[in-house]
Amino acid sequence: MTVATPEAPPAALPPRKPRKIFLVVGLVVAVALGIGLFTSIGTNKNAGPPVAGDPVPSFTASLVNGSGTVRVSAHGTSGHPTVLLFFGDWCSICHTELPQLAATVRSQDAAGGSLSRIRVVGVDSGDLLSNARSFVASSGVTFPVADDENLAIISAKFFFRGDPYAVFVNGNGTIAKILGSSISPSAFRTDERALIPSGS
């Protein structure tokens, strides 16, 4: 009768020396990751809501009150100050505020002068296009209004929650002031005047 004897453990293998190629590849990857980390710090300025001094977030959208598109760009203001008005038919404050601001813009345009050279752009947020068109028309709006039914501008670009908002943009494309509450026509004109360079 044969008795099975336990197998002896395999002899320990001598330790393997790391191959130089793996050391080189590991070092290159570590350096690349380090460079990526340190060069990206402080460069993602668009990770949160814009503040005064930041470039205005750029966007292009279909017009609510017309055909074609409206475009806003920090690099395309051509020295013209701009006011962005955010509103929606669903916003109760906007029903009081927008007709007054629309009348103010119409009177400024009719009068000519420095305030008439300030570009005003509306952004209708969260409304079906038919509701947006009806609201803009009934409010007497004559300036271009961007369609933001899906909140791609107000939420994804500006990080605003709800309406109304007003963003006053200098001629160089930087934000001068952001208002997140209702605004009177007199306050609107005051903030517009602050956008006009002295001597203009």
Kindly state whether residue 170 falls inside one of the protein's structural domains.
yes
Encode pLDDT of 118-155 as tens digits. 999 999 999 999 999 999 999 999 999 999 999 999 99
Name the residue with higher pLDDT: 25 or 79: 79
Kindly state whether residue 22 falls inside one of the protein's structural domains.
no
pTM of the shown model: 0.75
Residue 154, φ and ψ in degrees, nearest 5: -65, -40
Kindly state whether residue 20 falls inside one of the protein's structural domains.
no
Kindly state whether residue 3 falls inside one of the protein's structural domains.
no
Kindly state whether residue 29 falls inside one of the protein's structural domains.
no
CA distance 58 to 35: 29
Domain count, the chain: 1
Name the residue with higher pLDDT: 59 or 43: 59
Encode pLDDT of 80-93 as tens digits. 899 999 999 999 99
The average confidence (pLDDT) of the chain is 83
Kindly state whether residue 7 falls inside one of the protein's structural domains.
no
Q: Residue 132's Cα: distance from chain center in Å? A: 21
Retrieve residue 66's tokens. Answer: 């017309």
Kindly state whether residue 44 falls inside one of the protein's structural domains.
no
How far lies 140's CA from each of 22, 36, 45, 109, 122, in Å?
Answer: 70, 51, 36, 14, 12
Kindly state whether residue 14 falls inside one of the protein's structural domains.
no
Residue 110, φ and ψ in degrees, nearest 5: -70, -35
Helices (H), the chain: 20-40, 92-111, 129-138, 185-193
CATH number for 81: 3.40.30.10
41: pLDDT confidence band, cut at 50, 70 and 90? very low
What residue type is 56 in one-letter code?
A: V
CA distance 82 to 120: 6
Mean pLDDT of 14-37: 58
CA distance 90 to 148: 13
9: pLDDT confidence band, cut at 50, 70 and 90? very low
Q: Which domain holds residue 171?
A: 52-193
